[in-house]
Structure formats: structure tokens, C-alpha cells
């Protein structure tokens, strides 16, 4: 469908919390219509349809892909399921796939997902939805307007490099105008068993990296978290900080004479981030332009996760592109070289 006046048929795979967030986005925009959902859990399907209408319901997503004439599929399942679902959806006739993050449990799987959609001519996006937030966009406007001079360094803190980290690595590219990264040096520790979406995590970590334009990045996780400070942008003439847990002053600007709280210049509040991600994808399908959340950008952020793990395994700086296909974290846990019981 090329006409922006014709609603595209959308289905959601995975009827949990993030599936509902995607559904809100598709129902919010008249250029899309939600027609079906798939989830093996009957209660989840029923609750989903009570909220979003009497959609066609499937236990098996593969059956849904064969039975429905779909333009867009949202993949909102646990990370380890992404590859098989996206590789099944890509050749099914859809125009686009909007997937939850993180991309995949290994670097090889992440690249395979991207490649499958490229080969099928399908637009793939990953829901790094914070790119649409008013706090994040206003901070980028300050950078672009020269409020802190030339950007020199980006620092970020979060609970882990994988689930949270994928957002913050992505935001580092966002603030540095998508410049590529030359190298990564990192260290991780697993002091106790932790998982998200059934993928093991580090309990604390450090990722130091340099962009090709000379800007440096630093992401710290676990106990290194800095009392609610999530992101710091350091320039030649000032600093921008994002304190996302502070509803009164989430965005702060320092230019040598005390902290300011700039007014938001664009973007949407937290509750509308995912809605904006759906609308952006629809607009880009109409225009033929690259979506803000394209898999090309997501792949760059994902590479930093696995390059950090690889640096910890090899105990050296990793030049990009990353050549390994596995996850060094998973491999080290499997061979006992890292983990709660490692000496």
C-alpha cells in the first residue's frame, strides 16, 4: 500500500505489556488498523482483545502470518524468540516489522535479523523509543544550538548493558549524530545470577568507547550508577544532564553560572514514546525514508553491547567492526570463567 490514506493491517505477536504498548500506538494512528494478535497464553490474548477490540486471535504466530494479509507486524516477545519470529515474518509479505529490544542474545543473531529483513526488502525497526521523548530531543536541540560548545564526551549510567544499555548506547549515537565507533574497551562482573527476558546479565560493567569524530563515550552499570543521574553530555563550554527520576527537573544545563532547567522544545512525554515510534514508522513507509528507529541504528548500539563483553573476555581493546558471532558473556558463563562461583 502506498497511499497514506489507506490504513495498513497490523498484527502483534506477544500480548504482554510491551505488546499492549505497541497496540496503543497502532490504534492511535489512523494510517494503521490492528486486525490480529498471537500469543500462546489464552488469558493474555483475551485480555489484549478486551482492551483493543475483538481481533482475530491465534495461538501460533506462524499460523497468523499465513492466514492474515498483513502490512506490519509487531514482535513483542522475549529476546531469544526474536530471530525465529522476525525471520518468519520477513518473507511473509509484510512491509515492516517493529520489534522490541534488545535485538538478540548474541551478536550473530542480531546481524542475522537485520540481514533477513534487508534481503526481503522489509523495513525493520527496534523500539528504542526514547529518541522521541521531549527530555532527550530537547537535550539534542541544546547540543545542536551550541549551548555547551563542541560535544566532547557522553556519560551514562543504568542497571545493565543489555536491556537498559541498548537504550543508552543508542542514545549515545543519537547525541553524536550517528557517528560510527572506532573501538570499545570494557569490563564486566557477574556476582549473582540475574536475567531479563531469560537472558543473563552482568551485575556491574564498564564500557568505554571512542567515536570516529573523537567524542568519547562511557557507560557504567550496577553499583556504578550515579544517584539518579542517567546521562551527562560534556561540551567544551558546558554540561547537559538528564536526571530522569526527577519529575521537577529532569533536564539541566550548566554554562558556568549555575544550573538552568531548559523548557522542552520538542518531543513527547514518556507515556507517548511508543506511540510516536509507531507513527514514525508509518510516516516513513509513506515517504520511503529511513525510520528513526531503523535496524541499522539499532545494530550499531547492539554491537557496543557485545564488543564490551568481548573486551572483557579478551582483556583488550576491541576494534570495530566486531568479528565474533557469539555473546562473550554467555560463553564465559558457560565455561565458568565468570559468574558467582568463579574464582
Model confidence pLDDT, tens digit, residues 76-126: 999 999 999 999 999 999 999 999 999 999 999 999 999 999 999 999 999
DSSP string across 79-121: GGGHHHHHHHHGGGT-SEEEEPSS--SSHHHHHHHHHHHHHHT
CA distance 39 to 217: 39
| Crossing angle of the two packed helices 328-335 and 295-314, in degrees rounded to 10 | 40
Gyration radius (Cα) of the chain, Å: 20
Chain centroid offset of residue 271 CA = 16
Q: Tell me the sheet residues that pair with 207.
A: 186, 219
Q: Name beta bridge partners: 216.
A: 153, 210
DSSP string, 220-284: EEGGG-BTTB-EEEEESS-EEEE-TT-SS-SEEEESSSSEE-PPP-S-B-GGGHHHHHHHHHHHH
Domains along the sequence of the chain with CATH: 8-130+272-293 (3.40.50.720), 133-267+301-335 (3.30.360.10)
- Global pTM value: 0.95
**Nearest CA-CA partner of 239 in 255, 250, 218:** 255
Give DSSP secondary structure letters for 21-90: HHHHHHHHSTTEEEEEEE-S-HHHHHHHHHHH-S-EEES-HHHHHHHS--SEEEE-S-GGGHHHHHHHHG
Instruction: Collect the ranges in the chain with pLDDT lower than 70.
Output: 1-5, 224-228, 343
Cα separation values, 97 from 25, 89, 94, 148, Å:
14, 8, 7, 38
Q: How far apart, in whole angstroms, are the C-alpha atoms of residue 239 and residue 97?
A: 37
Residues 247, 250, 255, 256, CA torsion sign: positive
Quick one: pLDDT at residue 3? 44
C-alpha cell at position 17: 505489556
Residue holding cell 490480529?
36
Residue 200 burial by CB count (10 A; 0-12/13-18/19+): exposed, middle or buried? buried
249-297 pLDDT, tens digit per residue, is 999 999 988 999 999 999 999 999 999 999 999 999 999 999 999 999 9
Note the pLDDT of residue 6.
87
* Neighbour-count burial for 208-217, b at 16+ CB within 10 Å, e otherwise: bbbbeeebbb
For residue 225, the model assigns a pLDDT of 60
Q: What is the reported pLDDT for 4?
A: 46
Which pLDDT value is given to residue 5?
A: 64
Give dist(CA 343, CA 335) in Å, integer.
Answer: 13
Residue 277 is predicted with a pLDDT of: 98
The whole-angstrom separation of Cα 331 and Cα 322 is: 16
Q: Using CA of residue 101, residue 121, residue 84, residue 320, what is the dihedral sign?
A: negative
Residue 28 pLDDT: 96
List, in sequence order, every residue forming a beta bridge with 181; answer none if it has no partner: 211
For residue 214, the model assigns a pLDDT of 98
- Other beta carbons within 10 Å of 206: 20
The predicted pLDDT at position 228 comes to 65
Residue with grid cell 549515537, as numbered in its chain: 173
pLDDT reported for residue 224: 64
Amino acid at each position: 500500500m502506498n497511499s497514506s490514506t489507506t490504513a495498513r493491517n497490523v498484527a502483534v505477536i506477544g500480548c504482554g505489556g510491551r505488546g499492549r504498548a505497541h497496540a496503543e500506538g497502532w490504534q492511535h494512528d489512523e494510517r494503521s488498523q490492528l486486525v490480529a494478535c498471537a500469543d500462546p497464553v489464552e488469558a493474555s490474548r483475551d485480555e489484549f482483545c478486551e482492551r483493543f477490540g475483538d481481533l482475530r486471535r491465534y495461538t501460533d504466530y506462524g499460523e497468523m502470518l499465513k492466514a492474515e494479509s498483513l502490512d506490519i507486524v509487531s514482535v513483542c516477545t522475549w529476546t531469544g524468540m526474536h530471530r525465529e519470529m522476525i525471520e518468519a515474518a520477513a518473507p511473509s509479505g509484510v512491509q515492516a516489522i517493529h520489534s522490541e529490544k534488545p535485538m538478540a542474545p548474541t551478536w550473530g543473531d542480531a546481524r542475522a535479523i537485520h540481514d533477513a529483513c534487508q534481503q526481503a526488502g522489509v523495513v525493520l525497526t527496534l523500539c528504542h523509543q526514547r529518541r522521541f521523548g521531549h527530555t532527550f530531543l530537547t537535550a539534542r536541540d541544546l547540543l545542536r544550538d551550541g549551548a555547551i560548545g563542541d560535544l566532547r564526551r557522553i556519560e551514562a549510567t543504568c542497571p545493565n548493558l543489555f536491556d537498559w544499555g541498548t537504550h543508552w548506547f543508542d542514545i549515545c549515537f543519537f547525541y553524536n549524530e550517528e557517528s560510527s565507533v572506532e573501538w570499545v574497551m570494557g569490563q564486566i562482573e557477574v556476582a549473582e545470577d540475574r536475567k531479563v527476558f531469560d537472558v543473563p546479565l552482568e551485575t556491574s560493567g564498564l564500557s568505554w568507547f571512542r567515536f570516529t569524530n573523537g567524542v568519547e563515550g562511557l557507560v557504567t552499570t550496577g553499583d556504578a550508577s550515579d544517584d539518579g543521574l542517567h546521562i551527562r553530555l560534556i561540551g567544551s563550554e558546558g554540561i547537559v544532564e538528564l536526571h530522569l527520576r526527577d519529575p521537577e527537573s529532569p533536564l539541566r544545563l550548566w554554562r558556568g553560572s549555575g544550573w538552568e532547567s531548559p523548557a522542552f522544545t520538542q518531543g513527547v512525554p514518556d507515556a507517548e514514546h511508543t506511540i510516536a515510534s509507531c507513527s514514525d514508522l508509518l510516516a516513513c513507509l509513506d515517504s520511503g525514508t529511513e525510520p528513526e528507529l531503523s535496524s541499522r541504528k539499532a545494530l550499531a548500539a547492539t554491537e557496543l553491547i557485545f564488543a564490551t563483553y568481548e573486551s572483557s573476555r579478551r582483556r583488550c581493546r576491541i576494534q570495530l567492526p566486531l568479528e565474533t558471532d557469539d555473546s562473550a558473556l554467555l560463553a564465559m558463563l558457560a565455561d565458568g570463567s565468570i559468574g558467582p562461583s568463579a574464582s
